């Protein structure tokens, strides 16, 4: 087995690197490296630069404005963006809703949505999960009922990432109650400013509010906002989650951690970190680097593979590993920085947080806490293990 990129792929990598050096605004890269959750306005200039270069949508077919890259080129692009601290622009729009519209959307929907999405004018959220329907997604209760030229949607979504700054939701709703649960679902584009939509933020342990509850009360949506045929939502949802799962190796982010951890150890050694301790951190870094190499090879094998049940199981295994390694990387950074990452009370005033951690260290705490969510979203580790079992061993 030959585990090296072709000379064409290496040339492509050099082209991507040169573009990132020339075009990625340093302030955006600095915020991303520190671990801020991206706000829409902050990252919009970056999406415009990508659009100007024709690189806004690596995951779309070329005929709809995508790059037409091979899977290896897409992978290289993701890796280099990760290393350069380039943020993702509306992951849901560019990597989920966009590919779904390209594959299943009517020509009217493609015409209305794809070009503004490429420009970065539309931000999307994904309305799948509900209070009683997460892992068991097919049991969702949000209803969409046809009424003349509209669908009327009623229900509740939860954990909706970015709903507070999205223009549209790709909403999974029940359009037929008489058939088995999977067969009665449809995917509909729902404007977030429509009367009857209420977004309530959920505070998360990482100190941010990037997920939300969304209450949907008799919301009227034009019937042509339905994607594909009525009751075909389950196939579209599976297609969309497939995109999420391959993304969940997080190799760009892992390579970013691996490249900066040695500098972090050196910096702390300069500030008095005992050499014996530094040695232990270097050992943990080396161990993680080996595991990430192995993960990368698995991803490349999946990218080179053809469709089949083993591929689905491999994507699930990769998702489990990706989340676990992110947590290891973030945990290692926290250990190296030690007490710097802990927020402290001001002396003499136990009611007021002194800030304690410098912003860079605080960002690391935030990231560490956030990565626990990677073991849940897009299908929890347990659900991924169920998939591996049912496709490979049953
Ligand atoms: C940060 C974050 C962002 C998210 N963003 C979005 C979003 O944008 N849009 C969206 O639609 N959803 C989003 N989600 C929701 C996510 O998809 C669900 O949380 C996930 O599918 C799990 O569903 P649940 O929370 O209802 O937990 P449950 O399904 O109730 O699961 C609870 C526990 O039981 C386990 N479990 C459940 N069923 C089984 C089983 N059959 N076998 C073994 N173990 C099982 C699970 O693994 C879990 O540990 C997000 C979640 C998080 C944490």
CA distance 296 to 258: 13
3-state SS track over 8-69: HHHHHHHHHHHHHHHHCCHHHHHHHHHCCCCCHHHHHHHHHHHHHHCCCCCCCCHHHCCCCC
Amino acid 150: pLDDT: 98
Amino acid 102: pLDDT: 96
CA distance 52 to 372: 35
Position 164 confidence tier, pLDDT thresholds 50, 70, 90:
very high
Average of pLDDT values for 47-65?
95
State yes or no: is 244 an active-site residue: yes
Question: What is the model's pTM?
Answer: 0.92
CA distance 225 to 168: 11
For CATH 1.20.140.10, list the domain ranges present in the chain. Answer: 248-392
Instruction: State pLDDT tens for residues 68-92.
Output: 999 889 999 999 999 999 998 888 9
**Homologous superfamily of 248-392:** Butyryl-CoA Dehydrogenase, subunit A, domain 3 (1.20.140.10)
CA distance 85 to 81: 6
How far away, in angstroms, is 131 Cα from ligand 1 center?
A: 10
Question: For ligand 1, what atom is nearest to the CA of residue 136?
Answer: 29
For CATH 2.40.110.10, list the domain ranges present in the chain. Answer: 124-229
Expressed in angstroms, the distance from the first to the final Cα of the chain is 30
Position 351 confidence tier, pLDDT thresholds 50, 70, 90:
low
372 lines ligand 1 (CB under 6 A): no
Of 240, 259, 241, the residue nearest 251 (C-alpha): 259
Amino acid 62: pLDDT: 95
Instruction: State pLDDT tens for residues 236-245.
Output: 998 887 766 5
Residue identifier of the C-alpha nearest atom 16 of ligand 1 = 377
Position 350 confidence tier, pLDDT thresholds 50, 70, 90:
low
Q: What rounded mean pLDDT belongs to the chain?
A: 90
Average of pLDDT values for 241-260?
84
CATH no. for 124-229:
2.40.110.10
- Of all residues in the chain, the percent with pLDDT exceeding 90 is 72
How far away, in angstroms, is 331 Cα from ligand 1 center?
A: 23
Instruction: State the burial class of residue 195 (Cβ atoms within 10 Å of its Cβ: 0-12, 13-18, 19+).
Output: exposed
Note whether 97 and 236 are within 8 A (CB).
no
Residue with tokens 């990218």: 303
Q: Of residues 346 and 179, which shows the higher confidence score? A: 179
Position 34 confidence tier, pLDDT thresholds 50, 70, 90:
confident
pLDDT at 342 over 80: no
Residue with tokens 């601290």: 85
């Amino acid at each position: 087995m030959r585990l090296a990129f072709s000379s064409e792929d290496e040339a492509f990598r050099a082209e991507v690197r040169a573009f990132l050096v020339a075009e990625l605004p340093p302030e955006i890269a600095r915020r991303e490296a520190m671990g801020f959750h991206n706000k829409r306005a902050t990252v919009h200039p970056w999406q415009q630069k990508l659009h100007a270069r024709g690189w806004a949508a690596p995951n779309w077919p070329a005929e709809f404005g995508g790059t037409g890259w091979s899977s290896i080129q897409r992978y290289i692009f993701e890796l280099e963006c990760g290393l350069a601290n380039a943020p993702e622009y509306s992951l849901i729009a560019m990597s989920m809703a966009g590919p779904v519209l390209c594959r299943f959307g009517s020509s009217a929907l493609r015409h209305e949505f794809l070009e503004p999405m490429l420009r970065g004018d539309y931000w999307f959220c994904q309305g799948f999960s509900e209070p009683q329907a997460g892992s068991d997604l097919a049991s969702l209760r949000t209803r969409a009922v046809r009424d003349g030229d509209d669908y009327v949607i009623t229900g509740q979504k939860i954990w909706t990432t970015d709903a507070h700054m999205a223009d549209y939701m790709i909403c999974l709703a029940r359009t037929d109650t008489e058939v088995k649960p999977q067969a009665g679902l449809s995917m509909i584009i729902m404007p977030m400013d429509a009367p009857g939509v209420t977004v309530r933020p959920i505070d998360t342990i990482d100190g941010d509010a990037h997920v939300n509850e969304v209450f949907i009360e008799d919301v009227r949506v034009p019937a042509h906002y339905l994607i594909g045929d009525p009751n075909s939502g389950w196939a579209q949802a599976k297609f969309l989650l497939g995109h999420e799962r391959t993304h969940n190796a997080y190799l760009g982010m892992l390579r970013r951690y691996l490249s900066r951890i040695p500098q972090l150890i050196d910096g702390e050694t300069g500030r008095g970190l005992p050499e014996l301790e530094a040695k232990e951190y270097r050992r943990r870094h080396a161990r993680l680097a080996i595991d990430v190499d192995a993960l990368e090879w698995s991803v490349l094998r999946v990218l080179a593979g053809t469709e089949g049940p083993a591929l689905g199981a491999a994507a699930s295994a990769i998702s489990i590993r990706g989340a676990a390694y992110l947590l290891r990387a973030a945990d290692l950074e926290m250990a190296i920085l030690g007490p710097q990452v802990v927020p402290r009370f001001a002396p003499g005033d136990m009611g007021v947080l002194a800030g304690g951690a410098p912003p860079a260290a605080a960002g690391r705490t935030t990231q560490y806490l956030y990565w626990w969510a990677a073991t849940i979203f897009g299908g929890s580790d347990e659900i991924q293990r169920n998939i591996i079992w049912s496709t490979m061993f049953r």
